[in-house]
Chain A
Protein backbone atom coordinates (compact mmCIF):
# COMPACT_ATOMS: atom_id res chain seq x y z
CA UNK A 1 0.00 0.00 0.00
CA UNK A 2 1.25 3.47 -0.87
CA UNK A 3 1.86 5.93 1.95
CA UNK A 4 -0.91 8.24 0.76
CA UNK A 5 -3.33 5.32 1.09
CA UNK A 6 -2.62 4.96 4.80
CA UNK A 7 -5.54 6.48 6.68
CA UNK A 8 -4.63 5.70 10.28
CA UNK A 9 -1.48 5.85 12.37
CA UNK A 10 -2.32 3.08 14.81
CA UNK A 11 -4.77 0.25 15.13
CA UNK A 12 -6.67 -1.72 17.69
CA UNK A 13 -8.21 -5.14 17.18
CA UNK A 14 -11.08 -6.48 19.24
CA UNK A 15 -12.22 -10.07 18.75
CA UNK A 16 -15.66 -10.47 20.30
CA UNK A 17 -16.47 -13.85 21.83
CA UNK A 18 -20.17 -13.74 21.12
CA UNK A 19 -22.78 -13.09 18.52
CA UNK A 20 -23.10 -10.38 15.93
CA UNK A 21 -25.33 -8.57 18.41
CA UNK A 22 -22.40 -8.52 20.85
CA UNK A 23 -20.30 -7.10 18.02
CA UNK A 24 -22.88 -4.31 17.56
CA UNK A 25 -22.73 -3.61 21.31
CA UNK A 26 -18.93 -3.38 21.18
CA UNK A 27 -19.15 -0.95 18.27
CA UNK A 28 -21.65 1.21 20.17
CA UNK A 29 -19.39 1.28 23.23
CA UNK A 30 -16.36 2.35 21.19
CA UNK A 31 -18.35 5.07 19.44
CA UNK A 32 -19.74 6.33 22.77
CA UNK A 33 -16.29 6.37 24.37
CA UNK A 34 -14.86 8.56 21.60
CA UNK A 35 -17.84 10.83 20.99
CA UNK A 36 -17.15 14.33 22.28
CA UNK A 37 -15.74 17.64 21.21
CA UNK A 38 -13.20 16.00 18.90
CA UNK A 39 -13.98 14.77 15.40
CA UNK A 40 -16.74 12.13 15.66
CA UNK A 41 -15.89 8.47 15.12
CA UNK A 42 -16.48 7.04 11.65
CA UNK A 43 -18.09 3.60 11.44
CA UNK A 44 -17.36 1.41 8.43
CA UNK A 45 -19.61 -1.65 8.46
CA UNK A 46 -17.81 -4.14 6.25
CA UNK A 47 -20.35 -6.84 7.05
CA UNK A 48 -22.90 -5.42 4.64
CA UNK A 49 -20.21 -4.21 2.24
CA UNK A 50 -17.34 -6.69 2.50
CA UNK A 51 -13.94 -5.71 1.16
CA UNK A 52 -12.58 -8.57 -0.99
CA UNK A 53 -14.63 -10.91 1.19
CA UNK A 54 -13.37 -9.43 4.45
CA UNK A 55 -16.06 -8.73 7.02
CA UNK A 56 -15.80 -6.77 10.26
CA UNK A 57 -16.81 -3.41 11.63
CA UNK A 58 -14.13 -0.76 11.64
CA UNK A 59 -14.44 2.39 13.72
CA UNK A 60 -11.97 5.19 13.03
CA UNK A 61 -11.64 7.24 16.21
CA UNK A 62 -9.60 10.39 16.66
CA UNK A 63 -7.22 10.54 19.57
CA UNK A 64 -5.28 13.78 19.88
CA UNK A 65 -6.45 14.62 16.38
CA UNK A 66 -4.88 11.48 14.95
CA UNK A 67 -6.94 8.70 13.38
CA UNK A 68 -6.86 5.28 15.03
CA UNK A 69 -8.65 2.36 13.43
CA UNK A 70 -10.48 -0.02 15.76
CA UNK A 71 -11.24 -3.34 14.08
CA UNK A 72 -14.11 -5.18 15.74
CA UNK A 73 -14.57 -8.77 14.58
CA UNK A 74 -16.48 -11.80 15.71
CA UNK A 75 -14.40 -14.95 16.15
CA UNK A 76 -15.65 -16.43 12.86
CA UNK A 77 -14.96 -13.21 10.95
CA UNK A 78 -11.52 -13.08 12.52
CA UNK A 79 -10.67 -16.67 11.60
CA UNK A 80 -11.73 -15.98 8.01
CA UNK A 81 -9.44 -12.94 7.90
CA UNK A 82 -6.51 -14.83 9.42
CA UNK A 83 -6.79 -17.66 6.87
CA UNK A 84 -7.22 -15.25 3.96
CA UNK A 85 -4.22 -13.19 5.01
CA UNK A 86 -2.12 -16.30 5.49
CA UNK A 87 -2.95 -17.48 1.94
CA UNK A 88 -2.23 -13.99 0.63
CA UNK A 89 1.22 -14.11 2.22
CA UNK A 90 2.35 -16.70 -0.31
CA UNK A 91 -0.12 -16.51 -3.18
CA UNK A 92 -0.14 -12.74 -3.60
CA UNK A 93 -0.94 -10.01 -1.11
CA UNK A 94 -2.79 -7.98 -3.74
CA UNK A 95 -5.88 -10.17 -3.21
CA UNK A 96 -6.42 -8.41 0.12
CA UNK A 97 -7.40 -5.30 -1.83
CA UNK A 98 -9.26 -6.93 -4.70
CA UNK A 99 -6.16 -7.55 -6.83
CA UNK A 100 -5.08 -10.71 -8.61
CA UNK A 101 -3.14 -13.68 -7.30
CA UNK A 102 0.49 -14.07 -8.40
CA UNK A 103 -0.27 -17.41 -10.09
CA UNK A 104 -4.06 -17.60 -10.26
CA UNK A 105 -4.19 -20.65 -12.53
CA UNK A 106 -1.77 -22.77 -10.49
CA UNK A 107 -3.42 -25.83 -9.00
CA UNK A 108 -4.07 -25.59 -5.26
CA UNK A 109 -2.09 -28.59 -4.10
CA UNK A 110 -4.08 -31.06 -2.07
CA UNK A 111 -7.32 -30.35 -3.89
CA UNK A 112 -9.28 -33.33 -5.20
CA UNK A 113 -10.70 -32.80 -7.76
CA UNK A 114 -8.02 -30.26 -8.65
CA UNK A 115 -8.98 -26.62 -8.41
CA UNK A 116 -6.94 -23.52 -9.12
CA UNK A 117 -5.79 -21.03 -6.54
CA UNK A 118 -8.25 -18.51 -8.00
CA UNK A 119 -11.10 -20.97 -7.50
CA UNK A 120 -10.03 -21.66 -3.94
CA UNK A 121 -9.88 -17.95 -3.11
CA UNK A 122 -13.32 -17.49 -4.65
CA UNK A 123 -14.54 -20.43 -2.59
CA UNK A 124 -13.09 -18.78 0.51
CA UNK A 125 -14.96 -15.58 -0.32
CA UNK A 126 -18.17 -17.58 -0.64
CA UNK A 127 -17.38 -19.10 2.73
CA UNK A 128 -17.31 -15.55 4.09
CA UNK A 129 -20.85 -15.09 2.76
CA UNK A 130 -21.91 -18.26 4.57
CA UNK A 131 -20.34 -17.05 7.80
CA UNK A 132 -22.40 -13.89 7.46
CA UNK A 133 -25.62 -15.85 6.98
CA UNK A 134 -24.80 -18.15 9.91
CA UNK A 135 -24.11 -15.18 12.17
CA UNK A 136 -27.31 -13.42 11.17
CA UNK A 137 -29.31 -16.59 11.81
CA UNK A 138 -27.58 -16.99 15.18
CA UNK A 139 -28.77 -13.53 16.24
CA UNK A 140 -32.32 -14.35 15.22
CA UNK A 141 -32.24 -17.53 17.31
CA UNK A 142 -30.63 -15.83 20.31
CA UNK A 143 -33.03 -12.86 20.21
CA UNK A 144 -35.82 -14.97 21.67
CA UNK A 145 -35.80 -17.59 24.38
CA UNK A 146 -34.96 -21.08 23.18
CA UNK A 147 -38.45 -22.38 23.79
CA UNK A 148 -39.94 -19.47 21.86
CA UNK A 149 -37.55 -19.41 18.93
CA UNK A 150 -39.43 -20.06 15.73
CA UNK A 151 -38.68 -23.57 14.53
CA UNK A 152 -37.87 -22.20 11.08
CA UNK A 153 -35.16 -19.96 12.55
CA UNK A 154 -33.60 -22.81 14.50
CA UNK A 155 -33.77 -25.10 11.49
CA UNK A 156 -32.25 -22.43 9.26
CA UNK A 157 -29.44 -21.91 11.73
CA UNK A 158 -28.67 -25.63 11.86
CA UNK A 159 -28.76 -25.91 8.06
CA UNK A 160 -26.45 -22.92 7.81
CA UNK A 161 -23.99 -24.43 10.27
CA UNK A 162 -24.03 -27.79 8.49
CA UNK A 163 -23.48 -26.08 5.16
CA UNK A 164 -20.67 -24.03 6.65
CA UNK A 165 -19.00 -27.06 8.20
CA UNK A 166 -19.12 -29.03 4.94
CA UNK A 167 -17.56 -26.05 3.14
CA UNK A 168 -14.66 -25.94 5.57
CA UNK A 169 -14.19 -29.72 5.37
CA UNK A 170 -14.09 -29.45 1.58
CA UNK A 171 -11.27 -26.91 1.79
CA UNK A 172 -9.44 -28.67 4.61
CA UNK A 173 -7.16 -30.91 2.45
CA UNK A 174 -5.91 -27.86 0.54
CA UNK A 175 -5.35 -25.87 3.71
CA UNK A 176 -3.54 -28.78 5.34
CA UNK A 177 -1.35 -29.16 2.26
CA UNK A 178 -0.67 -25.43 2.25
CA UNK A 179 0.44 -25.69 5.88
CA UNK A 180 2.82 -28.51 4.93
CA UNK A 181 4.28 -26.39 2.12
CA UNK A 182 4.93 -23.56 4.56
CA UNK A 183 6.77 -25.83 6.93
Chain B
Protein backbone atom coordinates (compact mmCIF):
# COMPACT_ATOMS: atom_id res chain seq x y z
CA UNK B 1 0.00 0.00 0.00
CA UNK B 2 1.55 3.26 -1.08
CA UNK B 3 0.70 6.72 0.14
CA UNK B 4 0.82 9.99 -1.79
CA UNK B 5 2.36 13.16 -0.42
CA UNK B 6 2.41 16.68 -1.78
CA UNK B 7 5.56 18.57 -0.87
CA UNK B 8 6.18 22.28 -1.29
CA UNK B 9 9.86 23.15 -0.92
CA UNK B 10 11.62 26.51 -0.95
CA UNK B 11 15.01 25.95 -2.60
CA UNK B 12 16.53 29.33 -1.77
CA UNK B 13 15.59 29.04 1.91
CA UNK B 14 16.33 25.31 2.01
CA UNK B 15 13.09 24.73 3.82
CA UNK B 16 10.16 22.36 3.39
CA UNK B 17 7.11 24.63 3.48
CA UNK B 18 4.51 21.90 3.67
CA UNK B 19 3.97 18.17 3.43
CA UNK B 20 0.39 16.98 3.04
CA UNK B 21 -0.76 13.42 2.56
CA UNK B 22 -3.59 12.91 0.07
CA UNK B 23 -5.98 9.95 0.07
CA UNK B 24 -5.41 9.31 -3.63
CA UNK B 25 -2.59 9.90 -6.08
CA UNK B 26 -4.99 11.65 -8.47
CA UNK B 27 -5.97 14.02 -5.68
CA UNK B 28 -2.34 14.71 -4.89
CA UNK B 29 -1.57 15.44 -8.56
CA UNK B 30 -4.52 17.82 -8.82
CA UNK B 31 -3.34 19.60 -5.67
CA UNK B 32 0.14 19.78 -7.21
CA UNK B 33 -1.16 21.51 -10.34
CA UNK B 34 -3.17 23.96 -8.22
CA UNK B 35 -0.17 24.70 -6.01
CA UNK B 36 2.13 25.17 -9.00
CA UNK B 37 -0.26 27.79 -10.33
CA UNK B 38 -0.08 29.65 -7.02
CA UNK B 39 3.73 29.76 -7.21
CA UNK B 40 4.19 30.08 -10.98
CA UNK B 41 6.15 33.31 -10.64
CA UNK B 42 8.52 32.01 -7.96
CA UNK B 43 11.20 29.77 -9.46
CA UNK B 44 12.62 28.89 -6.06
CA UNK B 45 9.46 27.02 -5.10
CA UNK B 46 9.45 23.33 -5.97
CA UNK B 47 6.16 21.44 -5.91
CA UNK B 48 6.33 17.67 -6.10
CA UNK B 49 4.20 14.60 -5.52
CA UNK B 50 6.00 11.64 -4.00
CA UNK B 51 4.55 8.21 -3.41
CA UNK B 52 5.98 5.87 -0.79
CA UNK B 53 5.03 3.31 1.82
CA UNK B 54 5.40 5.94 4.53
CA UNK B 55 6.69 9.43 5.20
CA UNK B 56 9.74 7.86 6.86
CA UNK B 57 10.69 6.24 3.56
CA UNK B 58 10.69 9.67 1.94
CA UNK B 59 13.11 10.86 4.60
CA UNK B 60 15.53 8.23 3.30
CA UNK B 61 14.98 8.51 -0.45
CA UNK B 62 14.53 12.28 -0.59
CA UNK B 63 16.58 13.46 2.37
CA UNK B 64 17.29 16.78 0.65
CA UNK B 65 13.81 18.00 1.54
CA UNK B 66 14.22 17.14 5.20
CA UNK B 67 17.88 17.60 6.15
CA UNK B 68 20.35 20.44 5.70
CA UNK B 69 23.79 19.79 4.22
CA UNK B 70 25.40 19.65 7.64
CA UNK B 71 23.06 16.84 8.69
CA UNK B 72 23.63 15.05 5.38
CA UNK B 73 27.41 15.29 5.85
CA UNK B 74 27.01 13.87 9.36
CA UNK B 75 25.12 10.93 7.83
CA UNK B 76 28.08 10.41 5.51
CA UNK B 77 30.45 10.22 8.45
CA UNK B 78 28.14 7.76 10.20
CA UNK B 79 28.18 5.52 7.12
CA UNK B 80 31.97 5.65 7.03
CA UNK B 81 32.12 4.72 10.72
CA UNK B 82 29.85 1.72 10.09
CA UNK B 83 31.74 0.55 6.98
Q: Which residues of A come within 8 Å of B, CB atoms? A: 13-15, 75-76, 78-79, 82-83, 85-87, 89-90, 93, 134, 138, 157, 161, 164-165, 168-169, 171-172, 175-176, 178-179, 182-183
Minimum CB distance partner of B67 in chain A? A82
- The reply to whether A179 and B79 contact each other, CB–CB distance below 8 Å, is no
B80 at the interface (CB under 8 A from A): yes
- The reply to whether A182 and B68 contact each other, CB–CB distance below 8 Å, is yes
- The reply to whether A179 and B11 contact each other, CB–CB distance below 8 Å, is no
Q: How many A-B residue pairs have CB under 8 A?
A: 75
- The reply to whether B83 and A179 contact each other, CB–CB distance below 8 Å, is no
B27 at the interface (CB under 8 A from A): no
Extra contacts, 19 of them, besides A175-B70, A176-B73 (Cβ < 8 A), are A78-B63, A79-B75, A79-B76, A86-B72, A87-B69, A89-B44, A90-B11, A93-B11, A157-B83, A164-B80, A165-B80, A168-B73, A168-B76, A168-B77, A175-B73, A179-B68, A179-B70, A179-B71, A182-B13
Return chain A residues, CB-CB under 8 Å to B11: 89-90, 93
Q: Which residues of B come within 8 Å of A, CB atoms? A: 11-15, 44, 60-64, 67-73, 75-77, 79-80, 83
CA distance A13 to B70 in the complex (A): 23
**B13, B60, B70, B77 interface centre (most CB from chain A within 10 Å):** B70
List 10 A-B pairs, minimum CB-CB distance, nearest first: A182-B14, A179-B68, A89-B11, A179-B70, A176-B70, A175-B69, A82-B64, A165-B80, A175-B73, A13-B61
Name A178's contact: one of B13, B62, B69, B75 (CB within 8 Å). B69
Return chain A residues, CB-CB under 8 Å to B62: 13, 82
Whole-angstrom distance between the Cβ of A117 and the nearest chain B Cβ: 13
Return chain B residues, CB-CB under 8 Å to A138: 83
Return chain B residues, CB-CB under 8 Å to A161: 80, 83
Whole-angstrom distance between the Cβ of A168 and the nearest chain B Cβ: 5
Whole-angstrom distance between the Cβ of A41 and the nearest chain B Cβ: 20
Return chain B residues, CB-CB under 8 Å to A178: 68-70
- The reply to whether A134 and B83 contact each other, CB–CB distance below 8 Å, is yes
CA distance A169 to B80 in the complex (A): 12
- The reply to whether B68 and A79 contact each other, CB–CB distance below 8 Å, is no
A-B contact pairs, 29 of them (CB 8 A): A13-B62, A15-B60, A15-B61, A76-B76, A79-B72, A79-B75, A82-B62, A82-B63, A82-B64, A86-B72, A89-B11, A89-B44, A93-B11, A157-B83, A161-B80, A161-B83, A165-B77, A168-B80, A171-B73, A172-B70, A175-B73, A176-B70, A176-B73, A178-B70, A179-B68, A179-B69, A179-B70, A182-B14, A182-B68
